[in-house]
Amino acid sequence: MSEARACIGISGWRYRGWRGDFYPKGLAQRLELAYAAERFGSVEINGSFYSLQRPSSYRAWAEQVPEDFVFAVKGGRYITHMLRMRGAEAALGNFFASGVLALEEHLGPVLWQLPGRQAFEPEVVDAFLAQLPRTTAEGAELGKRHDEKLKGEPALSVNAVRPIRHALEVRHPSWDSAECEEVLRRHGVALVVSDGAGKWPMIRRVSTSDFVYVRLHGGDELYVSGYSPDELQAWSVEVLGWLDGSPDGLPRDVYVYFDNDAKGFAPWDALELQRLVGEGRTSAG
């Protein structure tokens, strides 16, 4: 069995305020992804949350990153916020036919972010999760059910069958329950550990899947504040614990994304957490 992997990075990479700070002054915008990918093991693709992207975009992104780099892809808000996970088959088809599968070996987890008003409804959640593809082949098959809203030629071919992981980010307290945990575990879907600066509960029920997904939106002020050295140290201890098998003896891959981007803290916090986790693994080994 291979060693559990920590992928630590940023939520999105194209931010004007990062230029001349994280990104060197004068670096061309088209080179920003490659620059970030040289420093992190993963980033989240955010544009897919707001609208369907093009296969050419996914292919271009995949060509700019190292061999072992993975993208987390954010599922469309039309599915999560407008349909609220109901009657979503065609919309899911549009999403998986829009080019996501063109990432090939660089496709990491798919993130489904729910709105804060969305309470836990077991039947709705169970039915939605049952529709999600667990392999790229299943994703291509689901993509055939797209509707006329998908513009252009669907990207449905895959060079190799690979697993697809799914993570669910929730922001309503009703999700912190044993019943929710049981439903997600049945489908192997990760319940995101989401730090929203106290704006929503941070739920740590990480045994629902074989990986852990963490989103850090700011410790004190949502999307704005950076994380202190002590806070980053504490998060590194948690990450190392999950990698080593906490809480149930099963080592898990861990994906961590910093979304405190407003004042440019995200990439620097991600680099520091990555350093702390790397040092922790080295000293333990």
Q: What is the pLDDT of residues 12-47, one digit of tens each?
A: 999 999 999 999 999 999 999 999 999 999 999 999
Instruction: Look at residue 212 and tell me if it is in a domain.
Output: yes
| Per-residue model confidence (pLDDT) at position 8 | 98
Q: Which value, to the nearest 10 degrees, does the dihedral of the CA atoms of residues 92, 94, 99, 102 take?
A: 50
Q: Where are the alpha helices (DSSP H) in the chain?
A: 32-39, 47-50, 55-63, 77, 89-97, 122-131, 136-143, 178-187, 229-244, 265-284
| Per-residue model confidence (pLDDT) at position 284 | 78
| Per-residue model confidence (pLDDT) at position 1 | 53
The average confidence (pLDDT) of the chain is: 96
Q: Which two tokens stand for residue 232?
A: 């980053």
Number of structural domains the chain divides into: 1
Closest CA relative to residue 40, chosen from 234, 240, 257: 257
Instruction: Look at residue 65 and tell me if it is in a domain.
Output: yes
Q: What is the pLDDT of residues 119-166, one digit of tens each?
A: 999 999 999 999 999 999 999 999 999 998 887 777 778 888 999 999
Instruction: Look at residue 260 and tell me if it is in a domain.
Output: yes
CATH code of the domain covering residue 103 = 3.20.20.410
Distance CA 222, CA 219 (A): 7
Instruction: Look at residue 167 and tell me if it is in a domain.
Output: yes
Instruction: Look at residue 246 and tell me if it is in a domain.
Output: yes
Instruction: Look at residue 49 and tell me if it is in a domain.
Output: yes
User: Which residue range(s) make up the domain with 223?
Assistant: 6-284
Instruction: Look at residue 1 and tell me if it is in a domain.
Output: no
Q: What is the pLDDT of residues 111-121, one digit of tens each?
A: 999 999 999 99
| Per-residue model confidence (pLDDT) at position 110 | 98
Instruction: Look at residue 83 and tell me if it is in a domain.
Output: yes
Distance CA 255, CA 214 (A): 6
Question: What confidence category does residue 175 fall into, taking pLDDT thresholds of 50, 70 and 90?
Answer: very high
Q: Does the pLDDT at position 168 exceed 90?
A: yes
pTM: 0.97
| Per-residue model confidence (pLDDT) at position 152 | 74
| Per-residue model confidence (pLDDT) at position 285 | 66
Distance CA 104, CA 279 (A): 31
| Per-residue model confidence (pLDDT) at position 154 | 77
